[in-house]
Amino acid sequence: MDKHEVAELLRTVGSAVSPTMIETAIAPSGQSVLGRPVAVGDAERMWRQLLAVRDSTGWHPVLTARHPSDLVNAPSHGTDTFDARADTAPYEVVAEIKDAALSDRLEFADEEEASEWRAEFTPEQLARSINPEPRSPRPRQNFYPRWLCLVETPNGYSVPGILPGYPHTLNWSHGPGGRNMRASDHVAFLHTWYDRFGAELLYLSSRVLMVDVAQPPRDRIAVAEAAIEQYAYCPDGHDTTTYAEIQTRNGTWQFCWD
């Protein structure tokens, strides 16, 4: 799409804008990113309307605090190698990262601590500690939707692979072999969550990622499995129980790497 086609698409969802207000940029992959400034009060409504027509447009909407040019020009902070299994076998990637995260926690743990960590990473044991009803979700943090962008891909989970500098996962180094997070790791986690829970990338910034979850898990084992994955993905300020109680059963999942 060019600026005029984007302006026409935005007009059809009730967001008329001059083509001159639309910024365009090209990602290193060659895919286009287009965006327009957006008022906070209109941002999520417009995102949902554009998501509803994504299958026909082939462009995924993303809310962000950044200009499209910032998104495509950000330096990649992780390992440059993209693991193609994020698209073809994402569950393998997620399983490897979960195993690596547990190994990382066990490395310097005493016997008692090791037993506690194993319980935290065992869905059947974690499920027994989960309250029947989730606690109230925390308010969204670091959510500044100043731009509504369209990324040239029909799959929201692919966006971090197109914009490998976002998010910047500070201090995350518990991939297999102690490696840093790759863009393909983001894609793999988002891919599996899309498959199971209808999770769609909503917001992306330098250290924050949020997904809108259409069918969050309800069964306790499924909740526990997802909470373990969320912890392996972003352990900052949480543990598996906290994720299960506060976030996993809710419609918005937010992650921040401090």
User: How much is the pTM?
Assistant: 0.94
pLDDT at 17: 73
More confident residue, 139 or 67: 67
**Mean pLDDT to the nearest integer, 8-32:** 83
pLDDT at 103: 95
Calpha distance 1→19 (Å, rounded): 12
Q: In this structure, what token pair is assigned to residue 230?
A: 């969320």
The per-residue pLDDT for range 198-214, each reduced to its tens digit, is 999 999 999 999 999 99
The per-residue pLDDT for range 50-61, each reduced to its tens digit, is 999 999 999 999
Q: Name beta bridge partners: 35.
A: 23, 149
Phi and psi at 22, nearest 5°, equal -95, 125
pLDDT band with cut points at 50, 70 and 90 for residue 236: confident
What is the percent of the chain with per-residue pLDDT over 90, rounded to a whole number?
76
Phi and psi at 62, nearest 5°, equal -140, 130
CA 38 to chain centre: 21
Query: DSSP string covering 190-201, please?
Result: HHHHHHHH-EEE
DSSP classification of residue 243: I
Break the chain into its structural domains and give their ranges.
Answer: 3-81+140-256
Q: Indicate if the pLDDT at residue 170 is higher than 90.
A: no
pLDDT at 8: 80
Do 127 and 222 form a contact (C-beta atoms < 8 A)? no
pLDDT at 1: 76
Do 203 and 210 form a contact (C-beta atoms < 8 A)? yes
pLDDT at 80: 67
Q: Indicate if the pLDDT at residue 139 is higher than 90.
A: no
Calpha distance 168→120 (Å, rounded): 26
Name the helix (H) or strand (E) containing 33.
Answer: strand 32-37
pLDDT at 224: 97
Do 228 and 125 form a contact (C-beta atoms < 8 A)? no
**Mean pLDDT to the nearest integer, 165-184:** 90
pLDDT at 135: 81
Q: Indicate if the pLDDT at residue 77 is higher than 90.
A: no
CA 183 to chain centre: 11
What is the percent of the chain with per-residue pLDDT over 70, rounded to a whole number?
97
Calpha distance 49→148 (Å, rounded): 12
Phi and psi at 50, nearest 5°, equal -75, -35
**Mean pLDDT to the nearest integer, 137-147:** 88
Residues with Cβ within 8 Å of 20's Cβ and at least 6 positions away in sequence, in order, are 3
Residues with Cβ within 8 Å of 160's Cβ and at least 6 positions away in sequence, in order, are 166, 167, 183, 186, 187, 190, 201, 204, 209
Average pLDDT over the chain, rounded to an integer? 91
